[in-house]
Amino acid sequence: MMITIKYFGLLAEVTGCRSEKMNFSCTTISDLKEILFQKHKVLKNKKFKIAQHNELNTDKTKVTSSEIALLPPFAGG
């Protein structure tokens, strides 16, 4: 299925896009992360959480939404 990946904060900068569409046939967040790490190697060294349906996911969560958000912490104040 086609899913949209949304990058927040620094992640949008290091991947060079705020959002991107990709064809995705894997089942879990862990699978998805592998694909994203291959596409954007720089993500591997970044801390972030993955959310779908406005809820945080673990690696084992199944991908059921067509929209996935990658959320980093922010340092600035």
Partner 1 sequence: MNRYNRHIILSEIGLEGQHKINMAKVLVVGAGGLGCPVLQYLAAAGIGTLGIIDFDIVSESNLQRQILFGSSSLGINKAIAAKKRLEDLNTSISIHAYPKKLNHKNAISFFKEYDIIVDGTDNFKTRYLVSDACIITKKPLVYAGIYKFEGQVSVFNYNNGPSYRCLFPNSPKQEEIPNCSEIGVLGVLPGIIGSLQANEVIKIILNLGEILSGKVLYYNSLSHLFNLIKVSRSEKEIQKVMDIADIFENLDEGIRCEVKNNNITLKEALTKKNIQWIDVRNDSDQKTNYPEIIQIPFADLEQNLHKIDKNKKQIVFCHAGIMSKKAVSILQKHKIEDSFSLKNGALEVMNHFKKNNYEKP
Please, which residue, 23 or 45, has the CB nearer to partner 1?
A: 45
Among 2, 23, 55, 60, the residue binding partner 1 under the rule CB under 8 A is 55
Instruction: Give yes or no for residue 56 binding partner 1 (CB under 8 A).
Output: yes
CB of 73 to partner 1, least distance (A): 5
CA gap 73, 69 in Å, rounded: 13
Among 46, 63, 65, 68, the residue binding partner 1 under the rule CB under 8 A is 46
* Residue 69 to residues 7, 19, 33, 73, 77, Cα–Cα distance (Å): 6, 9, 12, 13, 23
Among 3, 9, 35, 61, the residue binding partner 1 under the rule CB under 8 A is 9
Contacts of 52 (CB under 8 A, 6+ apart): 61, 63, 64, 65, 67, 68, 69
How many CB atoms are located within 10 Å of the residue 62 CB? 12
Residue ranges in contact with partner 1 by CB under 8 A: 8-10, 45-47, 49, 51, 54-56, 69, 71-77
